[in-house]
A and B are shown apart, each in its own frame.
Chain A
C-alpha cells in the first residue's frame, strides 16, 4: 500500500485565525483505496484541516496536491468538482424533498431546461443499489431514518465522481446496526479505489474501519500511523498529549454503586408522569446525593423522560412531587424555582447562546432566575465565572470570548457552569459527553461524581452504557418509550445485564 502515490497530499499547511494558530505546519497524505482516520481532541484542528482542504477556508501557507497538480480551492463547489466530496456531521440535505431530488439537487439531468424526472429516479435507484440500498426514491427524505439520510448524503457525494470522500463524524447519530451498514458501504467504496477521510470520536469504530490514521494536537501534526501498529491506549495518549493519566483516571474512577450510597432525603418523585408520543407514564424517585442514570437506545425515550422533570415539555399525565409536595411544571422557570437544573443534549440549539460571551452564558440561568431588575453585579459575575472557569478547566480561559469560538467539550463545560452557579438540588444532564474528547469527558464525569458527593441529586442521561454504569447509583432502563426496569447498580449489574434488558430478553 505504501508504494502507491498518494491521491491527496497536503504539506506544511498553516492556518491562522485572529489570536489562534489553528494549523501549524501540518502534513497529511491520503492514499487511494484506504480509510484514513483523522484523530485529535476537540480543537486539535481536524475541522479546520478539512475546511482548508475543501475550500471553505483559505490557507496561510502550505501546499495541497491532488494527484499531480497543485490546487487551492476557492469554494467547496470547486473542491467538489475536482473530486473531493464531503458529508458533514449534521446531514445537510432538504428533508422535505424526495430522495432522488436530494441526490441530484443542483445538477438534475435536463433536456431543454426541463428536468428529466424519470431518468433522475432511475439513476438514483442505480446509485443507491451501489450502496446496497433499495429505497422509494420519490418518497420525501424525511420518511427515512437518520442513518438512511446519511447514506443518501453519501450517495450524493460519490455520484459526483469522488476520488476523495470526507466523512465528518458520520456515526454520531447512528445506532450499532446502522453503523455496521455504513461501514459496509465504506468498505465497498474503498475497494472501488475511493480514498476515504473519516473523522469520529468513537475509537472502537476507528479501529474497526480505518487502515491508517493521522493524529493532530493543538494544530500540530503528531504523526501518521498504521492502525494495526498503534494500540488504542497509545493513540489516546498521543491525542491528549498528557501521559496516560487522564485516561487512567477515567478508567480507574471508583464506580458509584448502590451499596456505598447513603440515600439522602427524597427530592423528586414522578408519579405516573408521562407524555403522549414521548414517554409512557412512569414512577421514579430521586434522592439527594444520588446519581440516577437513564439507559436505553437512541429514541427510547431517555431525553423525553429527562425533559419532563424540568418542565421543558409539559406532562399530560401524572405529576411530579418535589419534597413530597405535588407540583405541576408549566415551564422551566417553575422547575428552577424548586432547585432543578437541566442541560440539554442539543448543546448548540438548546444550550449555549452562541454569540454571547462565556461569562454571559454562564450567568444566564442565575440572572434569569433573579429577573431583569436585579442584575448580578459585575464583580460578583467575575468571581463566579472565574471560579467555574478554573474549576471546570474551561479553555480558552477568556470570559469575554464568544462561546461559539469554544470547542464542543468546552461549551458543554460552560453549560454545566451555568447550572452549577444556580446551586441546584437536582441537576438533569442529557448527553453531556457526546462528541467531546476523552480529556473533557473524564473531567465532566468527575464533576458529576463530585456533585453527587456534595449532596446534589443528578439525573444522568448518556448513550454510552459504560459511563452510565460507572456513575450511576441506580439505572433506569428504557425501551420503546417505556421505563422497563429499575436496577440498583450493584456489583452483579454489568453492561451485559443492562444490554439484555434494553434488548428485551430480561433474564431473571
Chain B
C-alpha cells in the first residue's frame, strides 16, 4: 500500500483511468505502429501534443517553487515564434539549416531577455510576480504583433517544420526536445544545489536571506529559465503550423501550465517542487483534451467535462477530502 501514499499516486491513477477509458471508444488507442521507421499512434500523439505544455510547465514549476508565478509564458511563446518566422521569411533560402538554427537561436535569446525583464521586475524592483508578469502577458502579444506587422506570417521551411512536426530516431522531435529540457532542468536543480536553494527561498524568503542565499539572483534565474522554456515551446508551436500567429500561439497556456504544476504536487505558495509531477500533470491535461474528442463529448460541453475531471482530480488529491469522504467519518459531533 506504500505506493498509494506516494505524492503522485492519484494523478497517475487518473491518467491511467483516462487512458483506459479511451479503449472503449477507439479500439486501436494503445496500438503503436511503425511507419517509415517512425512511431505512430494515439499515445505518441498525446506526447507530441504535450511537448509545449511540458516545456512551459517545468519553467513554471521552478518559478512557482520560489513563491512566484509567470503569467507571461504564452506571450513569450508568441514572440519567440514570431521572431523566428520573421527571420526565416527573410532568408534567401528558407531551407537553409544554418539560417533556421540562427532564427531559432534569435527567438530563444529574445525570450531570455524577456525572462531577465520579468525577473528584474520581481526580484530587483519588488513588484508582485502576478502583476510583474501580467505586464508582459498583455504587452507581449502586442510585441509579437509588432514583429509580424499584425499579420499571420507563413513560412515554407522544411528544416523549421522538423522542430514541431518532424521525427528523429523514431520519435517526434518536439518530444525529444521537451525530454531534453526536462533532463537539463533535473540536472540543474538536483545535481547542483539549485533545487535546495530554490526550495529554501520559496519555503521562507526571510530565513533564506539570513542564511546568506542570494534570493535575487536565484529569482531572476528561474524567470529566465521559464522564459527560455516558453521560447522553445513557441518555436515548436509555430513550427508545427509553419506560421506565426500572435494571438493563437500559447493562448491561455499559462493556466494549463499552472494546473500541471499543481497536479504535480507543487504548492502555489512555493517551496518543495516536483518536475516529474509537472510532466505527469502536463501529459494528463493533454490526455484529457484527446479523450474529450475520442469519446465524443459534444463540443459545447467539452469545457464542462474538463472542469469536472479537474475538480475530481483536485479533490481526490486532497488528503483532507479523502479522509472525510473515503473513510468513515471518525469524529463525532459535540455536545448539544
Contacts and interface: CB of A to CB of B under 8 A. Distances in A.
Contact of B212 (A344, A368, A373): A368
Contacts, number: 105
A254 B140 CA distance: 68
Contacts of A374: 192-193
A351 B203 CA distance: 11
Given A71-B335, A375-B192, A333 B214 contact: yes
B34 interface: no
A365 B213 CA distance: 7
29 contacts: A58-B331, A66-B335, A72-B331, A78-B333, A82-B334, A312-B209, A342-B210, A344-B210, A350-B204, A350-B207, A350-B210, A353-B200, A355-B199, A355-B271, A355-B272, A356-B199, A356-B200, A356-B271, A356-B272, A364-B200, A364-B208, A365-B212, A367-B193, A368-B212, A372-B192, A372-B194, A375-B192, A375-B196, A376-B193
Interface string B196-221: 11011001101111111110001000
Interface residues of A, number: 43
Interface of A: 55, 58, 66, 69, 71-74, 78-79, 81-82, 310, 312, 331-333, 336, 342, 344, 349-356, 360, 363-365, 367-376, 418
Contacts of B332: 72, 74
Interface string B47-90: 00000000000000000000000000000000000000000000
A71 B196 CA distance: 45
Given A71-B334, A372-B218, A418 B211 contact: yes
Given A352-B207, A356-B203, A356-B271, 13 more contacts: A78-B333, A344-B207, A344-B210, A350-B207, A351-B207, A353-B207, A353-B271, A367-B193, A368-B197, A368-B208, A372-B218, A373-B193, A375-B192
A235 B206 CA distance: 38
Given A364-B213, A374-B193, A78 B334 contact: yes
B197 A372 contact: yes
Interface residues of B, number: 29
A360 B199 CA distance: 10
B208 A353 contact: yes
B204 A74 contact: no
Contacts of A71: 334-335
B27 interface: no
Contact of B335 (A82, A310, A368, A369): A82
A353 B212 contact: no
A295 to B, nearest CB: 23
B198 to A, nearest CB: 9
A351 B204 CA distance: 9
Contacts of A332: 209-212
